Chains A and B, each alone.
Chain A
Amino acid sequence: MSLELTLLTQPEVPLEADVLSPDRLQSLNRSELERLELYYGNVRTPLAEFFSINGDFDGDLHLTGDLSRIKHVGSLMTRGSIHVHGDIGAHLGTGMSGGEIRIDGNAGDWVGPEMQGGRILVEGNAGHLIGAAYRGGAVGMTGGEIIIKGNVGNETGHAMRGGLIAVGGDSGDFTGVNMLAGTIVVCGRPGIRTAASMKRGSVISLHEAELLPTFSYDCCYHPTYIRLYLQYINSRGLNIDEACINGNYERWSGDAVEMNRGEILIYRP
């Protein structure tokens, strides 16, 4: 039976819950679970003060309630799964390298920052800095995948060096800023300054995008690898039109202020 935690009391300030990760819950008995320490502001608080606990941990963790003020869930996780039946707060899956996180609602800022592997699926919207590097850090996400079915904020994939981010809706400004490698797919409309200062990597937009003048037009063609990516993303729950899978894309190289080895691909119906 999986472990089910239901939020009893909505915290007034964010609750830091990096202990809610399969790696940390493994082999804990009920009393140890109840005594797990969360940071409520700067105060250490036992888990049982905020959550009701049902079942035993078998690798799967279920969280229920409005957890939009619960931060750092799934930090550094390497295995297992977390299913959030509701919204979730910031710093979800920080540095995770394996396992799967599924959010039925919306997610806050910093989904999968500096993530190395595993999967995150958000059914709703997410905030800023998805898969990004932390401030002062050189490298963001290096592997794994983040699928957001709704919209996302600014700086998605900031300094990302690998992996896949797929956004079902619109993305904010600076999508793929400072990107080093990896792939970002935006099914809606990206904001301004997309892929600014990118060195390598791919930003794929299924709609018109406003490009920086430091990107140069190459050609309009059908990149076969896009077929694999879009089909894969569809298999993860997005619904990308067949025309986009089979269609042609404008290729723009950039950013010329950096190595000029990155690309923005824009679908051309």
Chain B
Amino acid sequence: MKIKSTYIEDTFAEAFKMWAARFIITAESRQWAQAAARSVTGFATSVIGCKCEAGIEAELTPEETPDRRPGVSVLLFTPDRDSLGKRLVERIGQCVMTCPTTVCYNGLESETTVNVGGQLRYFGDGYQISKKLGERRLWRVPVMDGEFLVDELFGIQKAVGGGNLLLLGKTAAATLRAAKAAVKAMRGPGIILPFPDGVVRSGSKVGSRYKALIASTNDAWCPTLKGVVENSALPEDVNCVLEIVIDGLDESTVGAAMHRGMLAAAKPGLRRISAGNYGGGLGQHQIHLHRLLEATAA
């Protein structure tokens, strides 16, 4: 199957069950909201080394936020439910509460919740104040610029992590161009691309020859090892591979983003689009590239 001159491999992205939370950061200005959002989503590219994956879902106008101030919507994913609460408390406590003028609201309506503000309140050392507006409890924690306001409970839900596209290009420049176009097209509600500007070059395989490592470089997709490894996945005219990893609130949202990404990435110089998987034996979700395209064609 081809899109323009780009060959789409008949394969699938192997994605995993995750748990996700969405939170809204607002601040006195866009600058401070962005500062907190960048900080809270920093060092959150992969659960392999960062314990969570997080990213900015959207920038919000004052009309879109609960307190009508500029805001940012953030999605955070972890492999299991228990660790999601811990990561939220750590990151909101260290990166949002610390940022001037910010407030942090729950952004996900769900019957399943984790207690975040109810943990962070203890920073108030007894001077914290609870406020209940309708069914929603908020905590006011006194800080040096006034007070930090945070929802007590944050909704969480089952989600999908590790959807991906592999972009195989003739040159690094062509592959980067394709990746940037794909990232731009893929961003949208319900998904994040957790790697730097959405793109990862160090795709990994499970395990390593070194016992201490649980993951190591994906040698079959490294162009410098084409002549070295026996199982190289790269044809002769491919000299660069970039990956886009997608985490989303459900499989269909991830699939839709991958579909948009393929259409946008298919540019001259991009030889192939593939996807990373482990033979289907690890992940709970298989997102087939051809099926995504066929569904649209139909």
Q: Chain A interface (Cβ within 8 Å of chain B)? A: 143, 145, 162-164, 181, 183, 200, 202, 219, 221-225, 227-229, 231-232, 245, 261, 263
Q: Is B68 an interface residue (CB 8 A)?
A: yes
B160 CB to nearest chain A CB (Å) = 32
Interface-located stretch among B84-92, B125-133, B173-181: B125-133
Chain B minimum-CB-distance residue to A222: B146
Chain A minimum-CB-distance residue to B66: A228
Chain B minimum-CB-distance residue to A201: B129
Which of chain B's residues have a CB closer than 8 A to the CB of A162?
Answer: 132
Decide: A223 and B140 in contact? CB cutoff 8 A: yes
Q: Is B67 an interface residue (CB 8 A)?
A: yes
User: Which positions 128-185 of chain B face chain A at CB distance < 8 Å?
Assistant: 129-134, 138, 140, 145-147, 149
A231 CB to nearest chain B CB (Å) = 7
In angstroms, Cα B268 to Cα A138, docked, is 77
Decide: B103 and A224 in contact? CB cutoff 8 A: yes
In angstroms, Cα B135 to Cα A162, docked, is 12
Which of chain A's residues have a CB closer than 8 A to the CB of B149?
Answer: 224-225
Which of chain B's residues have a CB closer than 8 A to the CB of A164?
Answer: 133
Interface size for B (C-beta < 8 A) is: 18
* Extra A-B contacts (12), CB below 8 Å, given A143-B132, A228-B66, A263-B129: A162-B132, A164-B133, A200-B129, A221-B145, A223-B140, A224-B103, A225-B131, A225-B140, A228-B67, A229-B133, A232-B133, A232-B134
User: Which positions 216-256 of chain B face chain A at CB distance < 8 Å?
Assistant: none
A250 CB to nearest chain B CB (Å) = 13
- Contact pick for B68, options A181, A200, A231, CB 8 Å: A231
A162 CB to nearest chain B CB (Å) = 6
Which of chain B's residues have a CB closer than 8 A to the CB of A219?
Answer: 146
Q: Chain B interface (Cβ within 8 Å of chain A)? A: 26, 66-69, 103, 129-134, 138, 140, 145-147, 149
Interface centre among A163, A181, A225 (most CB of B within 10 A): A225
Decide: B147 and A224 in contact? CB cutoff 8 A: yes
A25 CB to nearest chain B CB (Å) = 26
Which of chain B's residues have a CB closer than 8 A to the CB of A245?
Answer: 68
A262 CB to nearest chain B CB (Å) = 9
In angstroms, Cα B65 to Cα A231, docked, is 12
In angstroms, Cα B170 to Cα A16, docked, is 87
Which of chain B's residues have a CB closer than 8 A to the CB of A261?
Answer: 129
Which of chain A's residues have a CB closer than 8 A to the CB of B129?
Answer: 200, 202, 261, 263
Decide: A223 and B146 in contact? CB cutoff 8 A: yes
Which of chain A's residues have a CB closer than 8 A to the CB of B134?
Answer: 145, 232
In angstroms, Cα B149 to Cα A223, docked, is 9
B136 CB to nearest chain A CB (Å) = 9
Which of chain B's residues have a CB closer than 8 A to the CB of A221?
Answer: 145-147
In angstroms, Cα B145 to Cα A227, docked, is 17
Chain A minimum-CB-distance residue to B145: A221
Which of chain B's residues have a CB closer than 8 A to the CB of A222?
Answer: 146
Decide: B68 and A183 in contact? CB cutoff 8 A: no
